Amino acid sequence: MSEVRVRIAPSPSGNLHVGTARTALFNYLFAKKNNGKFVLRIEDTDAERTSQEYVDNIFDSLKALGLNWDEGPDVGGNYGPYTQSERFDIYPKYIQELLDKGFAYECFCTPEELEAEKEEATANKKAYVYSKKCENLTDEEKAKLRAEGRKPAIRFNVAKAQKAFHESSILKFDDLVKGELQMDTNLIGDFVIMKSNGAPTYNYAVVIDDALMKITHVIRGEDHISNTYKQILIFEALGFEVPRFGHLGMILAPDRSKLSKRHGATAVSDFVEQGYLTEALVNFVALLGWAPSDGEEVKPVDAIAADFRIGEISSSNSIFEYDKLRWMNSHYIKMLPMDTLKEMLKPYLTRYDLTELSDEQFTKMVEITREPLTLLSDITEAVPYFFGQDVEIDPEVQTEVLDLEESQKVLNDFVEKAQTWEWTEENLHNKLEEFRGTWKEQGIKPKATMWAIRAAVSGRTRGADMVGLLEVLGKERTIHRAQKSCKVAK
The residue ranges that bind ligand GLU (CB under 6 A) are: 9-11, 43, 206, 220, 224
Name 202's Cβ contacts closer than 8 Å, sequence gap at least 6: 11, 43, 45, 46, 227
In the complex, the smallest distance separating the C-beta of residue 173 from ligand GLU, rounded to whole angstroms, is 14
Catalytic residue among 261, 431, 440, 484: 261
In the complex, the smallest distance separating the C-beta of residue 10 from ligand GLU, rounded to whole angstroms, is 5
In the complex, the smallest distance separating the C-beta of residue 271 from ligand GLU, rounded to whole angstroms, is 19
In the complex, the smallest distance separating the C-beta of residue 248 from ligand GLU, rounded to whole angstroms, is 10
Residue 6 vs 368, nearer CB to ligand GLU: 6
Distance CA(149)–CA(144), nearest Å, equals 9
Torsion of CA 254, 259, 263, 268, to 10 degrees: 120
Full DSSP string of 183-213: EEGGGS---EEE-TTSPBPHHHHHHHHHHHT
Residue 95's alpha-carbon distances to 85, 132, 140, 155, 226, in angstroms, are 16, 18, 21, 10, 21
In the complex, the smallest distance separating the C-beta of residue 4 from ligand GLU, rounded to whole angstroms, is 16
Instruction: Check if the beta carbon of residue 217 is closer than 8 Å to that of residue 246.
Output: yes
Which amino acid does the sequence have at 185? T
Distance CA(383)–CA(367), nearest Å, equals 12
| β-bridge mates for residue 244, sequence order | 217
Residue 15 vs 458, nearer CB to ligand GLU: 15
Distance CA(402)–CA(451), nearest Å, equals 9
What does the buried/exposed string (b/e) look like for 179-214 if buried means 16 or more CB atoms within 10 Å of the residue's CB? Answer: eebebebeebbbbbbbbbeebbbbbbbbbbbbbebe
Whether 32 sits among the annotated catalytic residues: the reply is no
Residue 40 vs 383, nearer CB to ligand GLU: 40
Residue 5 vs 224, nearer CB to ligand GLU: 224
Residue 220 vs 460, nearer CB to ligand GLU: 220
| Count of positions (residues) in the chain | 490
| β-bridge mates for residue 183, sequence order | 171
Residue 9 vs 365, nearer CB to ligand GLU: 9
Residue 147's alpha-carbon distances to 108, 133, 140, 194, in angstroms, are 12, 19, 10, 20
In the complex, the smallest distance separating the C-beta of residue 11 from ligand GLU, rounded to whole angstroms, is 4
In the complex, the smallest distance separating the C-beta of residue 111 from ligand GLU, rounded to whole angstroms, is 24
Pairing of the two strands 153-156 and 104-107: antiparallel
Residue 83 vs 169, nearer CB to ligand GLU: 83
In the complex, the smallest distance separating the C-beta of residue 41 from ligand GLU, rounded to whole angstroms, is 8
Distance CA(254)–CA(6), nearest Å, equals 30
Q: Report residue 487: phi and psi, to 5°.
A: -70, -40
Residue 43 vs 307, nearer CB to ligand GLU: 43
Q: Report residue 401: phi and psi, to 5°.
A: -125, -60
Q: Give catalytic residues, as residue numbers.
A: 261
